[in-house]
Amino acid sequence: MRKFAGALAATMMFAGVALATDDPMAVAYGNTVTITNAKGEVSTMLIDADNTYTVTTAAGEVHKGTWAIADGQTCFTQTEPAPGPDYKPACSATETRAVGDTWTSGEGDAMVTITIVAGR
């Protein structure tokens, strides 16, 4: 679960594309964010305009939650399954990204490659 939270935080660095609207998450709606870990396992993330998200891990597990942007930070808070008592939302600095962008985050076994793919 901890590795998943780290990958989620890295994924969120793409928030910030305004595309002709004032909504900095507009690039995510209707598109898919793929997260590939160091083992080559791919998870998918769907981000919705109602401030919710769903991640389906490579193992088929489904994680749901809410997202918010405040003070230059994009934070994702898992709600399902209910996180443990030491859980902290995954937050990172908001950066500008677009459909087709690919970037990496982390190092070694914790490295992930994130891509914004057109469509769902």
Q: What is the pLDDT of residues 83-119, one digit of tens each?
A: 999 999 998 888 778 999 998 888 999 999 999 999 9
For the ranges 29-33, 71-75, 80-84, which has the lowest average pLDDT?
71-75
Q: What is the pLDDT of residues 46-77, one digit of tens each?
A: 999 999 999 999 999 999 999 999 998 999 99
* Separation between Cα atoms, residue 27 and residue 97, nearest integer Å: 8
Q: Are 5 and 106 in contact (CB under 8 A)?
A: no
Q: Does 20 have pLDDT greater than 70? A: no
Q: Are 90 and 75 in contact (CB under 8 A)?
A: yes
pTM for the whole structure: 0.81
Q: Where is pLDDT greater, at 15 or 19? A: 15
Q: What pLDDT was estimated at residue 14?
A: 53
| In the chain, where the domains are located | 2-117
Q: What pLDDT was estimated at residue 13?
A: 52
Q: Does domain 2-117 have CATH number 2.40.128?
A: yes
Token representation of residue 30: 């209707």
